[in-house]
């Protein structure tokens, strides 16, 4: 039985769509509220490697994509969840696959998707004071943000680039 059939049989109400990607990998769109349960089932069924988590902005909704591999079954599956762009939240799968920890942080940082139950959900690529999420379609590209480190070693985000190369900005001199 294919993994798609297994998921459809076991989680009928949670499986929104079954499809095949252009690269031939089986795909399943899952209801966000069932994601963690489906992932636990996949892990227990031999899908022991989470290869990738990514997020994308589809204009009407945000999407999280999970590429999962089974070394024992020699099989791939791709899970997707569609999220409300005004409240993009889904449960973390870091308790299922430890590698999800950093991938969820990256998806949060760049796309703005929050992962409930994540052990340390904070930015991983951009400094904490950074405004917005650069891979969202509504990210304001007209506002340049610059980062420098103050005397206390803290990241400072500014829109004033003139402060970046001035000695006085770094050492408080006029």
- Residue spans per domain, the chain: 3-121
Angle between helices 35-44 and 3-10 (to 10 degrees): 130
Q: Residue 113 and residue 151: Cα distance in Å, rounded?
A: 32
> In the structure encoding, which two tokens stand for residue 77, read together?
């599956």
Q: Residue 99 and residue 84: Cα distance in Å, rounded?
A: 25
Q: Which of 124, 4, 2 is nearest to 53 (CA)?
A: 124
C-alpha 95 chain-centroid distance? 15
93-125 as b/e, with b when 16 or more CB fall inside 10 Å? Answer: bbbbbeebbebbbbbbbbbbbebeebeebebbe
CB 162, CB 143: distance < 8 Å: no
* Burial of 80 per CB tally in 10 Å (0-12, 13-18, 19+): middle
Q: Given this model, what pLDDT does residue 166 score?
A: 58
If you ran DSSP here, which 8-state letter would residue 59 be given? Answer: S
Q: Which fold has domain 3-121?
A: Beta Polymerase; domain 2 (3.30.460)
Residue ranges for the chain with pLDDT beneath 50: none
State pLDDT tens for residues 91-131: 999 999 999 999 999 999 999 999 999 999 999 999 999 99
Phi/psi of residue 42, nearest 5 degrees:
-60, -45
């Amino acid at each position: 039985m294919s993994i798609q059939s297994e998921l459809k049989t076991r989680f009928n109400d949670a499986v929104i769509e079954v499809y095949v990607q252009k690269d031939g990998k089986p795909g399943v769109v899952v209801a966000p509220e069932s994601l963690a349960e489906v992932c636990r089932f996949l892990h227990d069924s031999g899908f022991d490697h989470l290869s990738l988590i990514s997020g994308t902005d589809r204009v009407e909704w945000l999407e999280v994509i999970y590429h999962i591999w089974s070394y024992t079954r020699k099989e791939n599956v791709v899970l997707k969840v569609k999220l409300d762009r005004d409240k993009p939240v889904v449960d973390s799968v870091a308790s299922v696959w430890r590698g999800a920890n950093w991938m969820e942080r990256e998806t949060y940082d760049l796309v703005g998707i929050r992962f409930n139950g994540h052990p340390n959900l904070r930015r991983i690529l951009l400094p904490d004071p950074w405004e917005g999420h650069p891979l969202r379609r509504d990210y304001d590209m007209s506002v340049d943000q610059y980062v420098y480190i103050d005397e206390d070693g803290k990241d400072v985000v500014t829109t004033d680039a003139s402060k970046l190369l001035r000695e006085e900005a770094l050492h408080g001199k006029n």
